Amino acid sequence: MKVYLQDTEATEQFGAKLWSLLPAKCLVFLHGDLGAGKTTLVRAYLRAAGFLGTVKSPTYTLVEEYSVGGHKIYHFDLYRLTDPEELEWIGIKDYFNQGGVCFIEWPGNGKGFLPEPDMTITLSVEGAGRSMTCNYFLHAKK
C-alpha cells in the first residue's frame, strides 16, 4: 500500500490508526531519512494507545520502553549503532520475547541480528508531505 500523507497531521492520523490495526505482539521496521516522520508516527501510535507522557526519539538511548494499559511498546532507533552485534549486548532478543509491539527505526543497521518484521513502513519527504509505503506480511498474527 502506498499513500501520500499531506502533512504532519495526516502522519499522526495514520500512526493513531495503527493502534487499532496492529496485533498486541509484532515487529514493525520504520525506514526513512532523518526527519521523514518515523518518530511522529510512533508518537501518534502511543497517543492513540492512551500514553500521555513525553515521547522522544531513542536516538541516544537506543530504546524507549512504554507500558500502556497492560501493553508493552518498544521504540528502537538504531541510527547510531556502529555494529549490529551491539544488539546482543543490549539483549534485544529479550525485548522480542517479552511480547509487545516493537518499532525499529534504521533496521538496516541491525541486519543479521533482527528477525523478519511483521510490517515495514517507509516514509520519504515529498513536497510539504510524506510518501508512505506499508507492507504487512502474512506471518503476522493478531
Query: pLDDT band at 142, cuts 50/70/90?
Result: very low
The tens digit of pLDDT for each residue in 33-82 reads 998 999 999 999 999 999 999 898 888 788 999 999 899 999 999 999 98
Residue-level pLDDT at 116: 93
Cα distance between the two ends of the chain:
19
Domain that holds residue 65: 14-124
- Residue 138's pLDDT band, with cuts at 50, 70 and 90, is low
Number of folded domains that form the chain: 1
pTM here is 0.91
Q: Does residue 142 fall inside a structural domain?
A: no
The pLDDT confidence band at residue 139, using thresholds 50, 70 and 90, is low
Query: Closest Cα to residue 4, out of 125, 111, 99, 86?
Result: 125
Residue 7 lies in a domain: no
Across the chain, the runs of DSSP E, i.e. the strands, are: 2-5, 26-31, 63-68, 71-77, 101-105, 119-126, 129-136
* Inside any domain, residue 40: yes
* Per-residue exposure over 6-19, b if at least 16 CB sit within 10 Å of its own CB, e if not: eeeebbbebbbebb
> How are beta strands 129-136 and 2-5 bridged, if at all?
antiparallel
What does the pLDDT look like over 83-137, one tens digit per residue? 988 998 888 989 998 889 999 999 999 998 999 999 999 999 988 889 999 998 8
Whether the CB-CB separation of 129 and 62 falls below 8 Å is answered with: no
Q: Is 54 part of any domain?
A: yes
User: What CATH number did the domain enclosing 60 receive?
Assistant: 3.40.50.300
